[in-house]
Structures are given as C-alpha cells and as structure tokens.
Structure 1
Amino acid sequence: MTDNAGEVQIDVPRDRDGSFEPQLVKKRQRRLTEVDEIVLSLYAKGLTTGEISAHFADVYGASVSKDTVSKITDRVIEEMQAWWQRPLEKVYAAVFIDATSRVSMVKIRDGQVRNRPVYAAIGVDLEGHKDILGMWAGDGDGESAKFWLQVLTQLKNHRVEEPWCPRRVLRCL
C-alpha cells in the first residue's frame, strides 16, 4: 500500500538460504510510511476511522480497514504516553505557562471532535535549553487558578522542583 499508487503487488524472489534482504520494502511490510502519515494527518483533522477508510477507497482506490487505521493511531498514543513518562530536569531556571494561542483553538477528539484551548508549560534549564514540560487541553472555560494548580501539581509530581533562583545560592553559602 502506497499513497501514490494505492495497492501494489510485489514479487519477492526466493532464495534457498533466505539471505535476500529487500531495500525499499522490508520483508512482511504491508504499508509504506507515507500511508501512516496520511492516516495520522486525517485523524488529527477530526476524521473518524470509518471516514479515513472511505477516504483511502475514494482517493487512492485502496482498502484500508478501520482496524488498520486504529492500529496506526494507537501507536501515536503509545508514543505520547512514553513522552509523558520521560524524565524531566529537577531544576529549571524558568518555567513559562500559558495557552498556546488565545485566538485559535485546536480540534480535539474526546468522544466527539470540538475546539479546545491547549495550555503548555515550557521550562528553560540551567544551560538555556527549552523543554516542553507538558501540554494540557482546557475545557474552554478560561484559565483559572484551580486549573494552573493542577498543572503545577502534576509537574511537581513529575519530580520538577521549584524554579532556580539566585537567592537559593546565597542561602547555601
């Protein structure tokens, strides 16, 4: 399955000792990565698995089952969970927290697709490198102290200490 040509039949030569290794399409590979990228793009735009499957049939003349679309999107969820679990620095020189954009909203699927604000926490480590500490989907009811308390509590539970400040250095001396 490719994004340009749809379904393509590939004849793999047989060799007695099994040493043949294809270079472009690996053994037992059924889709090229462009298909995955298209599926993820359509899913991010809010299409359902059935709509994505129908899109491939209409545009590319290829059948991609709803189950295959779900498997592709589930891999992204696994990667996202691994990203959330990654270790963070204990101390950041500064932490910036705010909505990604006050004007635009992001389409988020939560049972249904709807526009919601996304809030981000960005930390600057002691070497000056920026790190996205987390992103949270808001409910659209504005930024409240209760919401930010939950965000900061999550960061603290993720072993991020309070931002570094020069007074801490003076206290240590």
Structure 2
Amino acid sequence: MTQLQLTLNLEDLKVDVVNSNLNEVMKASLVLVLNQLMEQQRDDYIQALPYERTEGRTGHRNGYYDRSLTVSIGNLELKVPRTRDGQFSPTLFEKWQRKEQSFVLSMLEMVVNGVSTRKVKKVVKQLCGEEVSKSFISGLTEKLDAEVNKWAGRPLNVMYYKYIFTDAMYIKVREHNRVVSKAVYIAVGVNKQNKREIIGLKVSHAESKAGWNEFFAYLKARGLQSPSLIISDAHEGQKNAIRESFIGTTWQRCTFHFKKNLKDAMPKKGSKEVMDLIKDIFDAPGIKEARKLKEQFMETYEEDSLFSKAAKLLDEGFEDAIQFFNEPKSYRKSLRTTNNLERINQEVRRRDRVIRIYPNNQSAFRLIGAVLMDIEETLDSGGKKFLN
C-alpha cells in the first residue's frame, strides 16, 4: 500500500491562522489537507509524479475542477484533480457520501419523530453552516417511499391473526388548493405468538361503510384470513363492513366507548352509583354472571325516566359488548377495548400536530407509515406478549 505523504504550504496556512477566526482556520487547513490527499491519489492512479517520465505511467493529468463539500464546520471549496481518460475519481467523495446518507437519515428521523421543518432547518444550519430550503426537507421524506410501501404491502397469508383491532382517525390534507379532512384507517393484528403487529394502513375519504369495505378488501388482497374476533367502536359503516367482509367473524364492541355512550345518556349528576353497576357487569367473572347483572340493571332502571335511555342503549348493545367473555379469561381485559390501538393513534396524533396539514395523500401515507413502523418496533418487544 502506498504511504500517503502530505506536503502543506505552511506560509498559506500561517496567513489563514493570523487573519481568520477558528472556524476559518479549520476550514482552510482542511482544504489544504484534502486537496493534497486527492493530488496524492491521482499520482497513485497515474503511477507517476508531475513531469516524471516513466514506463509505468498509466495516464496523464488534465487539470482540476472546482467542487464544494459541506462538512460540520461549513462549506469547503476544493480543487479536484482530473485525468485525460476521465476515469479517476478520488475516494474522498465516495466516503463522504456515506456520511451524507447517514446525515440525511438523521434528518428523516427528526421529521418522523415530529420535529417541525423549521426546527430541522435550524439544526442543519447549526451543524453545517448552510441554509436548506423547506422543499429540500420535504423532499427528504420521499426517500421513505420504498421502505414504507414494502412494509405496508407485505403479505399477510404467512401468519394467522386471530384477533384484530380496527379504528380510524382524521387528518387534514391539501387537495386542489383546499384543505380537506381524510380518514386514516389502521388495523392491529395479534399473531400466533400473541404479539401485536400493525397490519394495515390506508388514507382515504371520510369514514364510511364503503371506506371500510375498501380497507378490508385491501387487507384480504394481501392474504388476510377471517379472524376469530374483530374489536372496534360502533361506527355503523364499520359494523356493516365487518359483517359483509368477514363471514363467521365475531364483532366485539369496544366496552370503553360503549360505557362512555351509556354515561352520556345519563344525567350529569347522581349517576355514579349507576355507572358502578355497569362497570360490575363488564367486570363479571363470566358471561352468565354478566347477563344476570344486566337483567337486574334493566329491572331497576328500565322504567326510571332519568336512566331509561341508558337502559335501552345497554339492552341494544349488550350482546355485542360481551363477546370477549368467550375468550380465555387472561385475554379478556385486553380484548374488550380498543385502548391499545387508541394509544397508537395518540402517538400518531402527537407527530401529526407538528405537521398539521399534509401536502397530499401520498405524503400523509408516507409519514404516518414511517411513524407506525417506528411504533411497531416497540410493541411487545423481546419476550413480552400482548396476551399471556
């Protein structure tokens, strides 16, 4: 291996030291070192020193061209050596490109983790001494496309998901110079190892039966088999879509949302005792005990003008809300609500508040997908299981 020897012009360096601040001194020194490094590499490529006549020569020099390189202390203007055959390329830029990719990934991570574009620009300015445009930062996120699309479109027929949680949230998207609301459909499946996976993401129009049918068709096209139980809130369109899309699947109404609906149907004052009775119904040791407590509740409050509306709601939605009792006792608390998916939605919403308005559907899918991929890595990590 050729030993690299650097010959620096100390007079030039001394002038820079006297007349510049510390950053400029470092930049000037680095320019001299890197230029000399590239010169040495060209000598090795040609196998001859300047003006040297030798039989081993493999090429000829052809001057220099200017090229800038951004480093942590600022922008460097370098003189890059050329050869007549045009084949010589110093290793400096290849090596720096790898560092640059790392830097770009770091900026992407900042965006995904909810750091605003303005703050990212400030960080880049502090690190590199260079301004970057808002469009440059936004363009960075396009690098996520391939990774997010691969994750979101992965086959689902390699694993059976017995339990699936579904929900939708709303975001704002710019469309034809207008800001409109869009529904983000998300599905979380529990696999054979009793661990959770985020198996579905789709950005579509407002939550509706057609939207849910489209979302479920997209999951089935990727190989999803009908689960034993789907847990969701009581959105009418979603209920109908589940019934049509998954024959033989049981629907579990989220008891958290159901109890909230019941509470909203009661007077604001004097309802604590009644709500405690409802809580006892869903905390019963088994389905028979739950039904017995429910009948007692109906006998007590069905004709009570203050609580008759709540009693009617309970009667209508009761059977759909107690399907979790058919599952193993240790699973029931986790399967009776969509709370675990709500927490995922809250994390997405935390990042969403920074962005506020997505420029288009694809950018929303891309960034929310990246956030969900990040969240998925933290779900039931190591030996931890969602259902024990």
- TM-score, length of structure 2 as denominator length: 0.30
The residue that corresponds to 1:170 in the other structure is: none
Give yes or no for the alignment of 1:128 onto 2:194. Answer: yes
1:105-124, CA deviations, whole angstroms, 9 ceiling, x for partnerless residues? 44556666765442201111
Q: Secondary structure at the match of 1:81?
A: helix
Give yes or no for the alignment of 1:84 onto 2:148. Answer: no
- Letter of the aligned partner of 2:197 in structure 1? D
Instruction: List gaps (5 residues or longer) in structure 2.
Output: 1-22, 46-90, 230-247, 249-388
In 2, distance between residues paired with 1:57 and 1:123? Answer: 38
In 1, distance between residues paired with 2:103 and 2:132? Answer: 13
1:36-58, CA deviations, whole angstroms, 9 ceiling, x for partnerless residues? 433564587785xxx899x4699
The residue that corresponds to 1:72 in the other structure is: 140
Cα deviation, residue 154, structure 1: 0.7
In 1, distance between residues paired with 2:148 and 2:218? Answer: 16
- Letter of the aligned partner of 1:153 in structure 2? A
The residue that corresponds to 1:152 in the other structure is: 216
> Could you tell me whether the CA contact under 8 Å between 1:118 and 1:135 is conserved in 2?
yes
Q: Secondary structure at the match of 1:122?
A: strand
The residue that corresponds to 2:203 in the other structure is: 137
Taking a change above 3 Å as real, the CA distance of residues 35 and 72 of structure 1, as seen in their structure-2 partners, is same
In 1, distance between residues paired with 2:101 and 2:159? Answer: 40
- Letter of the aligned partner of 1:87 in structure 2? P
Structure number with bigger Rg: 2
- Letter of the aligned partner of 1:84 in structure 2? A
Give yes or no for the alignment of 1:94 onto 2:163. Answer: yes
- Higher mean alpha-carbon deviation, 31-40 vs 146-155, is at 31-40
Q: Secondary structure at the match of 1:133?
A: strand
Cα deviation, residue 90, structure 1: 4.5
In 2, distance between residues paired with 1:58 and 1:38? Answer: 8
In 1, distance between residues paired with 2:105 and 2:139? Answer: 10
- Letter of the aligned partner of 2:187 in structure 1? A
- Letter of the aligned partner of 1:149 in structure 2? N
Taking a change above 3 Å as real, the CA distance of residues 152 and 46 of structure 1, as seen in their structure-2 partners, is farther
The count of aligned residue pairs is 146
- Letter of the aligned partner of 1:144 in structure 2? S
RMSD of aligned C-alpha atoms?
A: 4.4
- Letter of the aligned partner of 1:96 in structure 2? F
Q: Percent identity?
A: 23
Q: Secondary structure at the match of 1:161?
A: coil
Q: Secondary structure at the match of 2:130?
A: coil
In 1, distance between residues paired with 2:176 and 2:132? Answer: 23
Identify, as 1 or 2, the structure richer in helix. Answer: 2
Taking a change above 3 Å as real, the CA distance of residues 109 and 46 of structure 1, as seen in their structure-2 partners, is farther
> Could you tell me whether the CA contact under 8 Å between 1:45 and 1:107 is conserved in 2?
no
Q: Secondary structure at the match of 2:144?
A: helix
> Could you tell me whether the CA contact under 8 Å between 2:124 and 2:131 is conserved in 1?
no
The match for 1:38 among 107, 114, 121 is 107
- Letter of the aligned partner of 1:147 in structure 2? G
In 2, distance between residues paired with 1:58 and 1:129? Answer: 39
- TM-score, length of structure 1 as denominator length: 0.57
Taking a change above 3 Å as real, the CA distance of residues 147 and 33 of structure 1, as seen in their structure-2 partners, is same
1:145-171, CA deviations, whole angstroms, 9 ceiling, x for partnerless residues? 111111111111111111148x9xxxx
The residue that corresponds to 2:82 in the other structure is: none
